[in-house]
Amino acid sequence: MTVYTLQHLEQFTKAQLVAIIIEQTEIIGQLEVRIAALEKNSGNSSKPPSTDLSPHHTHSLRERSGKPSGGQYGHPGVTRTQVANPDRVVLCRPTQCEKCGENLDGETGLIRRKRQEADIPPIAIEVTEYQQEMVSCRRCGHTTTGAFPTSITAPFQIGDNLKATIIYLNVAHHIPFERCTALLDDLLSVRIGEGSVDTALTDGSEHAQTLYRDILESIKQGAWVGGDETGTHVNGEKSWQWVWQNERGSYYAIEPCRGYRVVKEHFGEDYRGTLVSDCWSAQNNTKAGAHQHCHPHYLRDLQFSIETERSAWAYAAFRFLIASERARAAIWADGFDTTLRGKIVARYERELETLIGRPATGNVAQRIQKRMRKHQEKILYFMHDSDTPFHNNSSERAIRNAKLHKKISGGFRSEHGARRHAILLSVIETCKKRKMDILVSLRLLFQGKLSFQGP
């Protein structure tokens, strides 16, 4: 493209100026086409999102290993093992000799090989009828009427196993009421209305009230608790689903706000362990013995600053956090000298002090530095303990249920339904973490026999 100065343009005629404008318009058009081709992504073309190269705040921190995808060479295979006591045995016995044709009935055989097939029997609903009988006394003539079991209160109702199945489908797998009734009709040939689904969920949540509180108390007995929150919808309005969790269980709550009031109302202000969270103010203000910020939240923002701002400070901070994570694994290895461990932790704390005092270039990098300076004591606390995680990944996995429910069902129709869901989800996810059979546990829930007390 020819570059014209003002002095040159003043010497041209009108026709020449028009020709120059046309020429440069064509060149600009060609350049725009080339730029558009270079900037193609999943939003403006048929390219998949995985090919997008533009940096994002949520950029994955995983690095390429150089290995092919799938199972690696030498990786031991996993094959389903045969059971010791099969439910049914079919004897594959020959009836006659394959050489001479002699009948083999009555001859003793030896089992050469065994093969097993796992299947499910035909699924059918079982209806139990309770008949109330009246008996007259032969001595005095008085008629005594038998009593129904206390759990049998209606002419026709669904049992505990079916209620447990309904809760499992709706809460654990987010299957809406209408699809839940259709599924039961197709699989079990039992026709129940959406009202029965609603009743089963309500009964389950009422039976779980005490367990709901026990789950939270059990979680707070742990050395650390992870907390997180994410958006959902209740009756068309924005709400928030919260979770506090660790290896002992998961406690969920759904509230219309994201402020500290929710923390105070649900989690309380008496926790003495370490709270692991992102940098949300309500989590930062939670009364706890200590706080640990999630490193991946910092690392993703630092990666964004490195790619967009070319910030040397962001690169140094990124490397520092990665190094601290690796150092913690080393200093808490068996047999590591405790005195040396203390010196190493102190050195990293001094390096952090120096890092947050250095000048940072780039708006994103400066915001990260300001955050790290404000919450300096929450960045390296994990190095003082062998169990406290430096990330909040388990809480993010736990809160993913809210996004699945939102995508499948669109939210909750009422506050009652949202609270009911939070209670039952707490029970189910805690059962999973404790390796308890979910359907059996839900049946015990209705019988008042489910317990989360103890380790």
DSSP one-letter code for 168: I
- For 102-121, the pLDDT digits (tens) are 999 989 999 999 999 999 88
Strands (E), 178-306: 224-234, 237-246, 249-255, 274-277, 290-293
Q: Is the pLDDT of residue 276 over 70?
A: yes
- For 145-180, the pLDDT digits (tens) are 999 999 899 998 899 999 999 999 999 999 999 999
| pLDDT average, residue stretch 133-146 | 95
Q: What is the pLDDT of residue 408?
A: 86
| pLDDT average, residue stretch 298-305 | 94
Q: Is the pLDDT of residue 140 over 90?
A: yes
Q: What is the pLDDT of residue 249?
A: 96
Q: What is the pLDDT of residue 28?
A: 74
| pLDDT average, residue stretch 435-449 | 95
- For 219-247, the pLDDT digits (tens) are 999 999 999 999 999 999 999 999 999 99
Q: What is the pLDDT of residue 25?
A: 74
| pLDDT average, residue stretch 135-145 | 95
Q: Measure Cα distances from 40 to 49, 51, 209, 309, 449 in Å.
A: 11, 9, 53, 22, 59
| pLDDT average, residue stretch 319-336 | 95
| pLDDT average, residue stretch 355-362 | 94
Residues 271, 293: Cα–Cα separation, whole Å: 17
Mean pLDDT estimate for the chain = 89
Contacts (Cβ under 8 Å, ≥6 apart) of 399: 228, 229, 230, 241, 243
Place of tokens 């493209």: 1
Residues 137, 129: Cα–Cα separation, whole Å: 25
3-state secondary structure of 145: strand
Burial of 328 (0-12, 13-18, 19+ CB in 10 A): buried
Q: What is the pLDDT of residue 67?
A: 75
3-state secondary structure of 231: strand
Contacts (Cβ under 8 Å, ≥6 apart) of 288: 225, 271, 272, 273, 274, 275
Confidence class of residue 45 from pLDDT cuts 50, 70 and 90? very low
Domains of the chain by residue range: 295-391
Q: Is the pLDDT of residue 35 over 90?
A: no
| pLDDT average, residue stretch 32-56 | 56
Q: Is beta strand 274-277 parallel, antiparallel or unpaired with respect to 290-293?
A: parallel
CB 215 within 8 A of CB 452: yes
- For 362-373, the pLDDT digits (tens) are 999 999 999 999
Q: Is the pLDDT of residue 196 over 50?
A: yes
CB 229 within 8 A of CB 275: no
Q: Is the pLDDT of residue 257 over 60?
A: yes
Place of tokens 């009427």: 145
Strands, sheet with 224-234, edge to edge from the N-terminal-most edge strand: 249-255, 237-246, 224-234, 274-277, 290-293
| pLDDT average, residue stretch 45-54 | 53
Q: What is the pLDDT of residue 19?
A: 73
What are 134's strand-pairing partners?
145
Residues 344, 223: Cα–Cα separation, whole Å: 23
| pLDDT average, residue stretch 258-272 | 96
| pLDDT average, residue stretch 287-315 | 95
Is the model more confident about 126 or about 324? 324
